[in-house]
């Protein structure tokens, strides 16, 4: 029996960091062909849910989709802040009234995710685009756990979006052709997932916020790849991971002040929120994305579609191509988020699925 891999080999690790550094230094040149803001195709008939829509690239996505005519649902932890934003946008907007609504969603609570999904599915309406944008990178912070008992990066960046994606499948199938867009990160190239220690508590690897963040982002790509395989073409639901590039707002609030100051000194290399929103907006609206996803499915490609910050298809990391680990991440994730292993198949058949979360009162 082959010995289980304990981490990235030093060559993989070095290649990963080279990729990250290359992205930071050259992303602006690579994306120089893109308009800012990105011109969107007609989206009047789209219903989109955007998580983490009150700040950073999520705020840009929600605003631009709404101004282009989409029905946008801001899924946020702070509804008051979302309503204030909508009022500001409406005051400065001279087109048709913006079709935006606000729903509460706290990704640090899996009960909240189930409550949100149940409330949305109960409408029996279509959902065309789910943008799992909300994420955290608590640089330099000690290890923290959610009330569900999971390491916070793993829960917010991977587990909660995975649960939301699966639970919203009935609405996404009604809205097909539909898309699940996962806002990922170039940092997943230096990530490694230990499926026996998703919470990073065993002590095998010393915990750091970097370890928490990179492993959660890689787990998201791996889970997305298996979900992409599990969804038959007839379901009409496509799964895409995107890299927004190195964006100032992604992590700035969690950075020490001295590092934030350094960020301000290198604005040429770092994308603004508007620039960082382009790859997700492109993936959410471009008519060729479903064709590309179907092509990958037909070719039995080991990973899901991954769109880089310059809105071009690219390959996720070498480790993301590890099919065996990806299926382990899939099984472990479903177990952690309280869903049966055949949840996706049951939703596709139109059956009900019970989740371990969402039935308790806080």
Per residue in 76-93, pLDDT (tens digit) is 999 999 999 999 999 999
The yes-or-no answer on residue 213 being catalytic is: yes
Asked whether the predicted pLDDT for residue 262 surpasses 70, the reply is no
Report in angstroms the alpha-carbon separations of 309 from 38, 48, 185, 253: 12, 21, 9, 21
Asked whether the predicted pLDDT for residue 362 surpasses 50, the reply is no
Task: Say if CB 307 and CB 224 are below 8 A apart.
Answer: no
Asked whether the predicted pLDDT for residue 204 surpasses 60, the reply is yes
Asked whether the predicted pLDDT for residue 256 surpasses 60, the reply is no
Give the residue numbers spanning the domain of 62.
Answer: 10-349
Question: Closest Cα partner for 33 from 308, 251, 243?
Answer: 308
In a domain, 105, yes or no: yes
In a domain, 130, yes or no: yes
47 dihedral zone (left: phi>0; alpha: psi -120 to 50; beta): beta
Provide DSSP, 24-76. Answer: HHHHHHHTTTS-SSPPP---TT-EEEEESTTSHHHHHHHHHHHHTT-EEEEEE
In a domain, 362, yes or no: no
Question: Domains in the chain: how many in total?
Answer: 1
Hey, is 96 helix, strand or coil? Answer: coil
Residue whose entry in the numeric block shows the structure tokens 């007609």: 42
Average pLDDT over residues 154-175: 98
In a domain, 361, yes or no: no
Query: Burial of 62 by CB count in 10 Å (0-12 exposed, 13-18 middle, 19+ buried)?
Result: buried
Question: Closest Cα partner for 39 from 20, 2, 13, 67?
Answer: 67
Average pLDDT over residues 145-152: 98
In a domain, 72, yes or no: yes
In a domain, 354, yes or no: no
Task: Say if CB 262 and CB 256 are below 8 A apart.
Answer: no
Task: Say if CB 273 and CB 56 are below 8 A apart.
Answer: yes
CA separation for the pair 277, 37 (Å, rounded): 9
Share of the chain above pLDDT 90, in %: 84
Q: What is the CATH number of the domain that holds 93?
A: 3.40.50.720
In a domain, 39, yes or no: yes
CA separation for the pair 309, 326 (Å, rounded): 24
Share of the chain above pLDDT 70, in %: 93
Strand order from edge to edge, sheet including 305-307: 100-104, 71-76, 47-51, 129-132, 178-183, 237-242, 305-307, 313-314
Query: Burial of 77 by CB count in 10 Å (0-12 exposed, 13-18 middle, 19+ buried)?
Result: middle
Q: Is the peptide bond before 177 cis (omega within 30 degrees of 0)?
A: yes
In a domain, 27, yes or no: yes
- Output the pLDDT for position 24: 84
Stretch among 50-59, 263-272, 279-288, 332-341 having the lowest mean pLDDT? 263-272
pTM exceeds 0.85 for this model: yes
Per residue in 92-133, pLDDT (tens digit) is 998 889 999 999 999 999 999 999 999 999 999 999 999 999
- Output the pLDDT for position 267: 67
Residue 150 has φ and ψ, to the nearest 5°, of -105, 145
Catalytic residue among 19, 150, 207, 213: 213
Query: Burial of 321 by CB count in 10 Å (0-12 exposed, 13-18 middle, 19+ buried)?
Result: middle
């Amino acid at each position: 029996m082959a010995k289980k891999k304990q981490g990235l080999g030093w060559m993989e690790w070095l290649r990963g960091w080279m990729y990250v550094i290359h992205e930071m230094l050259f992303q602006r040149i690579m994306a120089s062909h893109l308009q800012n803001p990105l011109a969107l195709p007609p989206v009047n008939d789209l219903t989109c849910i955007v998580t983490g829509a009150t700040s950073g690239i999520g705020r840009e996505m929600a605003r631009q989709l709404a101004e282009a005519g989409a029905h946008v649902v801001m899924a946020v932890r702070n509804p008051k802040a979302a309503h204030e934003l909508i009022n500001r946008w409406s005051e400065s907007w001279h087109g048709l009234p913006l079709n935006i609504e606000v729903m509460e969603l706290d990704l640090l609570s899996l009960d909240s995710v189930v409550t949100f999904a149940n409330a949305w599915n109960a409408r029996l309406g279509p959902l065309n685009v789910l943008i799992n944008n909300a994420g955290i990178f608590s640089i330099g912070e000690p290890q923290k756990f959610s009330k569900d008992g999971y390491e916070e990066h793993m829960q917010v960046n991977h587990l909660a979006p995975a649960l939301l994606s699966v639970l919203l499948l009935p609405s996404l199938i009604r809205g097909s052709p539909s898309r699940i867009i996962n806002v990922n990160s170039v940092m997943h190239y230096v990530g490694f997932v230990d499926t026996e220690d998703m919470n990073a508590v065993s002590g095998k690897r010393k915990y750091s916020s970097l370890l928490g963040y990179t492993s959660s982002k890689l787990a998201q790509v791996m889970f997305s790849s298996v979900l992409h395989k599990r969804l038959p073409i007839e379901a009409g639901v496509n799964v895409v991971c995107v890299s927004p590039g190195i964006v100032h707002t992604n992590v700035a609030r969690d950075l020490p002040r001295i590092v934030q100051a350094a960020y301000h000194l290198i604005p040429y290399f770092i994308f603004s929120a508007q620039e960082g929103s382009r790859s997700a907006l492109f993936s959410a609206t471009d008519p060729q994305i479903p064709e590309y996803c179907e092509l990958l499915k037909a070719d039995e490609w080991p990973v899901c579609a991954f769109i880089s910050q310059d809105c071009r298809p690219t390959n996720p990391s070498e480790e993301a191509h590890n099919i065996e680990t990806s299926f382990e991440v899939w099984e472990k994730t479903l177990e952690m988020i309280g869903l049966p292993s055949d949840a996706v198949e049951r939703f596709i058949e139109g059956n009900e699925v019970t989740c371990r979360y969402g039935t308790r009162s806080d």
